[in-house]
Chain A
């Protein structure tokens, strides 16, 4: 085969293959059979390629390579000496960290003092062992964990600032704590006293207030650090004097929280293997480290059993014992000896000085009980005991009764709640199938506003909702294709997919107890229903029919939502009983996104108008009084209350792009909080009011061409308009088919205008440009000389016309109907639109007369009126009033005889074809709209093979007829259709919001 032939063959192969990849698995087989019709070889080649699709996702995605010095060292060369390594590193830079000096090393990596040249502060950099840094899976796990650790914020815990992996080595950036470790202090104390390491130390030198080494304040601070971490679900696992730093003024900083778990080479789940306790294998070469660790290891750790917070309590007891007695609680010549002592022997209690107070001794004894069930259960109890001793004058003080020393603490999470979160943790850990690495959000050192990305994926991650405890976020994403509800920890980690069906879903929101997530799901009638799914995963169930935008009342008993059809606000209980309409919108507007105030007495919501307009409003539930908070002709979205109920955060398009704003709930001048390129919308505020999550959107539509003559299988939508920074929509072919008119805007903001281009999209020129009002929906007059369009005003619409050659627009007629602004231009340039009284109005531009053609069916949502080609008939759509509404569909009437339903179902849009047929797009809940052809008499209904992706960007709700506007070319060969060009969203977070 010649080179050229081979290339041609390849191009064909690629074309078919890419097209197949663009299709869902279900559609592929049929597609391939068609596309490869008769070419068996091609079919097989494509199949062979597609067979590797799944494998290819991960292929070549990992780190490419490394320099692996072991290769050299294993050849018997001298290993580079440690000092040489250190010397080589000093003065070097890792990213923007300049290495100043080595602080220490251990199995968990070498720690350097470095200068953060960006922030101008000194930090500690722990360079991770290669075994961790280059094991992708372990690194991923480590990153996840590190994010959790980074969330710890306590004066006695050395903070983790972030993970640096940009410069070859992977390193943990930590708070630099200058000062000796407790291990060093104990050692120097021992040697100063000249008693040797194992000799008991008399109590007075320790208990003396004047001494720089006072065990009780140190013990208290360690306990506080552990208590805080345990409350956040984090176990230290490797507490020992070497991990406790005593900084200036006696402040204790506990280091390396949780790192033992993530740096353990066998993973974080200890294998139940008593002969090889996992932690012991961590670095078999560093015997000293292991001895050091083994001495503080709990019996259950030493046995390789699963551990919980009580292993820290054990280690705490060991440290306390050592501080008081000057001896290790468990010691031995070899690791086996030490471990044997841990498992079998009691510490030498006689080593405790005789002056040791009884409560201290009891505390230590309780901490060092081998049976975990008999051990002190909560470190907070130790903290209380020590605080009481400090208050009472330490060892010299009165001997406290045990009952007083260990009072039951009042504020505990309810067992059910604790269990729920434990289960979430398990689930999150178990669902490795949906692993995703979340971008590392580093908490800021100072409380200035701080932005970080919570997700950073392709596609849409949107509509984030924070769990009541603020640790998790629920959101919708199309990362696996269909839009599903996901939950993940805000600090990162695995994602749990809660739903699994192809129907479009929106607006997850947590029940106040965190157990359920409500969301809206689109049904086949183009109507939304509210569903609920357990936050831990489970079977979704439908709560409310015909409703969307669920919001839970603070007591969890009531749901507020918008009626999917009428746009009215309702409340009801969770079963849909006791439903009450809270507020009904004016004709033409809809209410959306209700949110209960923290006291449950008010609802904030958005009043949406057709087009990119919406006002922020609040209604008082008891009185029904409504106050409007914003008045700009801009789009307000997604209100969220501050926890004190004084402010409402919301998204707003004032100034051009949608950003997060804040306004007083009683009304005030809004304050802008975010600024930037994308649209920040769909926000949620954390329970403590410090954080906002939101999604940043990039969403635009363009006009694409569908070739009606090509084989359906190979159909690809060919873009006709190309400016991804703007939306182009509502195309209209000129009568001769040579040109296209459409309107364009910037993400639905004020500046809108009418454009004209060749039918292939080339040479676009702006015909109408108006910075004050929207000029939309161009239609051609049949002579092709004028464009008629709607100038959209708040009071209604004005139909205008402008010569195609350019010139001054003329006002044709006003339409005061604010609800129905769509119109048609039929034969003779007659306009057709819906009047204010739900009637079809025709306007003749020659005579300038309007004519009432007849009433449209009362009580039904009619829209998109169109003349038949001869102008004798009028078609209109009826939107479903409820699921499976038999009236939903396309109707044709002559206003004399009863209307005829020519199509039954959810009609997104339709247009006249050239040969007395109607092309219509039927909506589907999976957002793959189906094209149909039908005669004006309802005959010859034909399903066409093409699907059109439904427009569903965040300010358009599927189910309304203002999405995939299309037109058929006069020769019947093409469809120009509005589709999404860019639709991307990721979730961001702002901390320390003002």
Chain B
């Protein structure tokens, strides 16, 4: 199941790992497309009621895209860092579309692709989370990264620490505080809305 761009992705990951910033720009659309394609494939073969977790999706894309023999764990963590960001983007985009369609009066015909990736969270909750993350980014970008890696990327504390080059304890502390801050922010929004 190796895709033609597999070699390219491996190369780009390596280049990025070696500090080539442009590699990330080239990498992003490839991974984005692979994530969507893999999700679609799952769609076709899952019996009703089955869902696919983000981590599983990312894992599978990784296995398809990257030549494991030619890569090392650092590439792997880099890759997951990219995926985490992309997952957030894909989810938020999808939630926006769903939200939009809802406001437009029901969901008559959701395109397969449009409905592909939906969160267990209701779209409104997801969008609010995204907004809150934007607000948090202004104060403390690393905490947002931690949330992206942990939540959207499904990465462990250890993996997140490796990517962010901080201690696991720092990740844990960031994670804990970020969640508290987000909850505070989100509960505030609800109050304003009510």
Contact = CB atoms under 8 A, between A and B. Distances in A.
Contacts of B22: none
B139 A6 contact: yes
A75 B53 CA distance: 23
B118 A71 contact: yes
Given A7-B139, A63-B120, A70 B49 contact: yes
A68 B118 contact: yes
B138 interface: yes
Interface stretch (B8-16, B69-77, B175-183): B175-183
A134 interface: yes
Which of B48, B50, B121, B183 neighbours the largest number of chain A CB atoms within 10 Å of its CB?
B50
A174 interface: no
Interface stretch (A84-92, A353-361, A428-436): A84-92
B152 interface: yes
B53 A73 contact: no
A80 B140 CA distance: 46
A402 to B, nearest CB: 49
Contacts of B91: 64-65
Interface in A7-41: 7, 10, 14, 17-18, 21
B107 interface: yes
A66 B56 CA distance: 10
A67 interface: yes
A82 B45 CA distance: 9
Nearest to B173: A18
Contacts of B46: 67, 69, 85, 130, 169
Interface stretch (A44-52, A334-342, A797-805, A933-941): A44-52
Contacts of A21: 176-177
A55 B59 contact: no
A485 B117 CA distance: 44
A64 B51 contact: no
Contacts of B53: 63-66, 168
Which of A3, A59, A92, A129 neighbours the largest number of chain B CB atoms within 10 Å of its CB?
A59
Contact of B184 (A49, A73, A88): A49
B56 A167 contact: yes
Contacts of B43: 67, 69, 72
A52 B183 contact: yes
A68 B184 CA distance: 29
Nearest to A724: B167
A53 interface: yes
A130 B51 contact: yes
B144 interface: no
A60 interface: yes
B119 interface: yes
Contacts of A168: 42, 50-53, 56-57, 60
Interface residues on B, range: 35 or more
Nearest to B54: A64
Contact of A129 (B49, B56, B57, B138): B49
B78 interface: no
Contacts of B44: 80, 84-85, 88
B52 A66 contact: yes
B150 A75 contact: no
Contacts of A65: 51, 53-54, 91, 117-121
A62 interface: yes
A865 interface: no
Which of A52, A65, A79 neighbours the largest number of chain B CB atoms within 10 Å of its CB?
A65
B36 to A, nearest CB: 11
Contact of B177 (A17, A89, A130): A17
A60 B147 contact: yes
A284 interface: no
Contacts of B173: 18
Nearest to B49: A130
Interface in A266-323: none
Interface string B30-43: 00000000010011
B184 A52 contact: yes
B93 to A, nearest CB: 13
Contact of A14 (B121, B152, B177): B177
B56 A10 contact: no
Main secondary structure on B side of the interface with A = helix
Interface in B92-119: 107-110, 112, 115-119
A60 B116 contact: no
B140 A59 contact: no
B119 to A, nearest CB: 4
A134 B46 CA distance: 14
Given A18-B177, A85-B46, A134-B51, A67 B39 contact: yes
B64 to A, nearest CB: 11
Given A67-B117, A134-B120, A75 B183 contact: no
Which of A62, A64, A88, A166 neighbours the largest number of chain B CB atoms within 10 Å of its CB?
A64
Contacts of A767: none
A79 B48 contact: yes
B120 A66 contact: yes
Contacts of B3: none
A140 interface: no
A60 B181 CA distance: 12
Given A59-B182, A133-B51, A67 B118 contact: yes
B4 interface: no
B147 A67 contact: no
Contacts of A68: 51, 118
A67 B35 CA distance: 12
B180 A50 contact: yes
Which of A50, A56, A69 neighbours the largest number of chain B CB atoms within 10 Å of its CB?
A69
B110 A166 contact: no
A48 B184 contact: yes
A127 interface: yes
A334 B86 CA distance: 51
A408 interface: no
A980 to B, nearest CB: 13
A65 to B, nearest CB: 4
B184 A51 contact: yes
Contacts of B180: 17, 49-50, 52-53, 56
Contacts of A53: 180
A64 B120 contact: yes
Given A59-B182, A60-B179, A65-B120, A73 B187 contact: no
A60 B45 contact: no
Which of A21, A50, A56 neighbours the largest number of chain B CB atoms within 10 Å of its CB?
A56
A72 B54 contact: no
Contacts of B108: 75
A56 B147 CA distance: 12
Nearest to A10: B139
B184 A64 contact: no
Contacts of B49: 69-70, 129-131
Which of A6, A10, A134, A168 neighbours the largest number of chain B CB atoms within 10 Å of its CB?
A168
A441 B57 CA distance: 25
Interface string A168-202: 11000000000000000000000000000000000
Contacts of B48: 69-70, 73, 79-80, 130
Contact of B47 (A10, A18, A127): A127
Contacts of B51: 65-69, 130, 133-134, 168
A956 interface: no
A12 to B, nearest CB: 12
A110 interface: yes
B52 A169 contact: yes
Given A52-B179, A75-B107, A168-B42, 10 more contacts: A6-B138, A21-B176, A50-B180, A63-B54, A65-B51, A80-B44, A80-B47, A85-B47, A130-B46, A169-B46
Interface of B: 39, 42-57, 59-60, 87, 91, 107-110, 112, 115-121, 138-140, 147, 150-152, 154, 173, 176-177, 179-184, 187
15 contacts: A10-B140, A14-B140, A52-B184, A63-B54, A64-B87, A66-B51, A67-B42, A68-B118, A69-B51, A71-B107, A75-B107, A85-B44, A133-B51, A168-B53, A169-B50
CB-based closest 3 A-B pairs: A66-B51, A130-B49, A88-B45
